[in-house]
């Protein structure tokens, strides 16, 4: 079946603007994760959803970042008043829960550039 999909693949915005990034997980996966990857580094955790609720948002850097998953499937990461330091690749992953089912599968990412 289809893997994790993310849209848009690239987003260029100006400092101070609002952006939304979308993630469509693998069908049936109850867990959804957002990560951010800066150049030359490994991905860093932002937020984890179990179903519709944010089970862990400890990785969100500040209150400009917010994410939702209203129906327990598609998720949107929202960034207000973007700053140049927000430029990175935003990755989404999904998984089932339990044992090997914990395997996280990643989407292709959204490359965000803040000018």
Partner 1 sequence: GIQVEQSPPDLILQEGANSTLRCNFSDSVNNLQWFHQNPWGQLINLFYIPSGTKQNGRLSATTVATERYSLLYISSSQTTDSGVYFCAVEGGSARQLTFGSGTQLTVLP
Task: Cis check for the bond before 8: say yes or no (omega within 30 of 0).
Answer: yes
Asked if 56 is part of the footprint of partner 1 (rule: CB under 8 A), the reply reads yes
Asked if 21 is part of the footprint of partner 1 (rule: CB under 8 A), the reply reads no
Query: Which is it for the CA torsion 50, 56, 59, 60, positive or negative?
Result: positive
CA dihedral 94, 27, 109, 100 (to 10 degrees): 30
**Minimum distance from residue 8 beta carbon to partner 1 (Å):** 14
Asked if 102 is part of the footprint of partner 1 (rule: CB under 8 A), the reply reads yes
Asked if 44 is part of the footprint of partner 1 (rule: CB under 8 A), the reply reads yes
For tokens 């609720």, name the residue. 53
Q: What are residue 113's phi and psi, to 5 degrees?
A: -120, 120
Q: Stretches 13-21, 62-70, 76-84, 95-103: which one binds partner 1 (CB under 8 A)?
A: 95-103
Give the residues lining the site for partner 1 (CB under 8 A). Answer: 31, 33, 35, 41-45, 48, 50, 55-56, 59, 89, 91, 93, 100, 102-106, 108-109, 111
């Amino acid at each position: 079946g289809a893997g994790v999909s993310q849209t848009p693949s690239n987003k260029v915005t100006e400092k101070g603007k609002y952006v939304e990034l979308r993630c469509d997980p693998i069908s049936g996966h109850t867990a959804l994760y957002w990560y951010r990857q800066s150049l030359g580094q490994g991905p860093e955790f932002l937020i984890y959803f179990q179903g519709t609720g944010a089970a862990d948002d400890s990785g969100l850097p500040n209150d400009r970042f917010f994410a939702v998953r209203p129906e327990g499937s598609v998720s949107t990461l929202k960034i207000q008043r973007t700053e140049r330091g927000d430029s990175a690749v935003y990755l989404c992953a999904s998984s089932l829960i339990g044992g090997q089912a914990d395997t996280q599968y990643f989407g292709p990412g959204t490359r965000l550039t803040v000018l």
